[in-house]
């Protein structure tokens, strides 16, 4: 049984009513009206779901996304796994401003990240951050409007700041936003949050921990990281989706998990893996992962027979296998990933050498006559997949180490 993951998305409009950005919000259920929490878990879950489960292009297109930050992210105790290109870092009003917070935000702004001050209140200490901010969000529903003149005047001393009138629910509040020339607006009067949902197979917790541990070594071989990632189909799919956001504007496309790791970079892979550990979601159903992993491995084993690249065949098998488990079409999944034309054509059209590999594996799995010769390769793929998925459990802390069965 597949789990579903959710992200809340509320549009942010300009003064002309055009959607110019989205705020991404934690939602634990499809029918959740409000987030219910604004802690580090909520922030981590939003990041992981938006970038690795949906793909940021699916959530926001090319518009920027406002993402709430807790103190752990502001100060760098937890790393941000993405670059500054498509995000606005929203500093929650619950973050107490001190030297550590100022230093963290200064470093983030210096790295190109745009900063938003959420639910800004004069005298809370957040006025110290105006020089670093690109956006200031003012609560026009429950905020103290008696000092609005003073707050707006202070913001106007910084030409780079755009004011966001938020929690607009009435015509009177809309009129206040107009009167003060607030550049951006957000609230129920314009649009309620929409909850986006997608089926998900979460990577094994132990596999994520193994990846984090391996990445702690500064000279870890790329092949070691790649082997850990390809051993868990859900983790591999997340890395492919992350590579899609990194690949925006990049001409090259990927045909293997190794290329995706190289494109994302080990440092960013480390950050995503760390965040996935914080995002403590349920462990993936092992039987379902075994099916997808076996299909990917069988495609890899069969590639040489058709003169195809084994790494590309593994990705083609992974995409088709995961698409079946998640009840989406391979074409829909391929659109979320920065695949080479050859891999994309193989999984969507069944063409080319890779397409012949995928079709041969599918025919064998469906029991078509004449495909029995693949039994040996299939058995090898099943053995490899079983060893791979159980290795993390064998070598888990507190358990005796045993050699994998031959």
Structure confidence at residue 286 as a pLDDT band (50, 70, 90): low
Average pLDDT, the chain: 80
- Asked whether the predicted pLDDT for residue 320 surpasses 80, the reply is yes
Instruction: Kindly tell me if the per-residue pLDDT of 199 is higher than 70.
Output: no
- Banded pLDDT at 216 (limits 50, 70, 90): low
CA-to-CA distance for 371 and 405, rounded, in angstroms? 27
Compare 153 and 40 and report the one with higher pLDDT: 153
- DSSP state letters, 201-268: -PPPHHHHHHHHHHHTSTT--HHHHHHHHHTSHHHHHHHHHHHHHHTTT-S--BSSHHHHHHHH-HHH
Half-sphere exposure (Cβ direction) of 334: Cα atoms closer than 13 Å: 22
374 compared with 133, residue with greater pLDDT: 133
- For the whole model, what pTM was predicted? 0.58
Asked if the model's pLDDT at residue 166 lies above 90, the reply is yes
CA distance 121 to 98: 16
pLDDT of residue 372: 65
Torsion of CA 332, 256, 277, 244, to 10 degrees: -50
Rounded CA separation 398/185 (Å): 54
Is 204-394 a CATH 1.20.140.10 domain?
A: no
Q: Of 8-12, 269-273, 275-279, 396-400, which range is least confident? A: 396-400
Which superfamily, per CATH, for 3-198? Answer: EAL domain (3.20.20.450)
> Where exactly are the structural domains of the chain?
3-198, 204-394
- Higher-scoring residue by pLDDT: 216, 326: 326
Q: Is the pLDDT of residue 7 over 70?
A: yes
């Amino acid at each position: 049984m597949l789990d579903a993951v959710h992200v809340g998305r509320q549009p942010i409009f300009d003064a002309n009513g055009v959607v110019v950005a989205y705020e991404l919000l934690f939602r634990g259920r499809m029918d959740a009206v409000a987030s219910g929490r604004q802690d580090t878990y909520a922030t981590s879950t939003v990041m992981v779901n938006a970038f690795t489960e949906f793909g940021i292009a699916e959530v926001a297109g090319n518009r920027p996304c406002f993402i709430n930050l807790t103190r752990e992210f502001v100060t760098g105790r937890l790393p941000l796994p993405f670059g500054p290109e498509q995000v606005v870092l929203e500093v929650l009003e619950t973050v107490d401003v001190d030297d550590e917070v100022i230093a963290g935000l200064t470093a983030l702004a210096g790295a190109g990240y745009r900063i938003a001050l959420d639910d800004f209140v004069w005298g809370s200490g957040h006025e110290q951050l105006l020089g670093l901010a690109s956006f200031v969000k003012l609560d026009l529903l429950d905020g103290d409007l008696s000092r609005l003149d003073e707050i707006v005047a202070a913001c106007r001393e910084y030409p780079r700041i755009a004011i966001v009138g938020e929690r607009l629910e009435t015509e009177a509040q809309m009129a206040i936003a107009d009167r003060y020339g607030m550049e951006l607006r957000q609230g129920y009067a314009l649009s309620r949050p929409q909850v986006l949902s997608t089926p998900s197979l979460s990577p094994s917790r132990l596999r994520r921990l193994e990846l984090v541990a391996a990445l702690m070594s500064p000279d870890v071989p790329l092949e070691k990281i790649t082997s850990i990632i390809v051993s868990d189909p859900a983790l591999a799919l997340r890395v492919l989706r992350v590579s899609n956001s990194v690949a925006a504007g990049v001409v090259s496309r990927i045909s293997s998990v190794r290329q995706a790791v190289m494109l994302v970079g080990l440092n960013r892979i480390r950050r995503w893996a760390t965040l996935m550990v914080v995002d403590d979601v349920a462990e993936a159903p092992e039987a379902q992962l075994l099916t997808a992993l076996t299909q990917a491995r069988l495609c890899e084993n069969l590639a040489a027979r058709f003169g195809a690249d084994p790494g590309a065949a593994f990705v083609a098998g992974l995409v088709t296998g995961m698409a079946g488990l998640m009840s989406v079409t391979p074409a829909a999944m391929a659109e979320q990933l920065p695949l080479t034309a050859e891999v994309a054509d193989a999984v969507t059209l069944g063409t080319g050498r890779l397409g012949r590999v995928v079709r041969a594996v599918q025919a064998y799995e469906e029991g078509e006559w004449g495909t029995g010769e693949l039994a040996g390769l299939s058995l090898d793929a099943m053995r490899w997949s079983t060893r791979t998925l159980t290795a993390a459990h064998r070598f888990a802390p507190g358990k005796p180490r045993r050699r994998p069965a031959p």
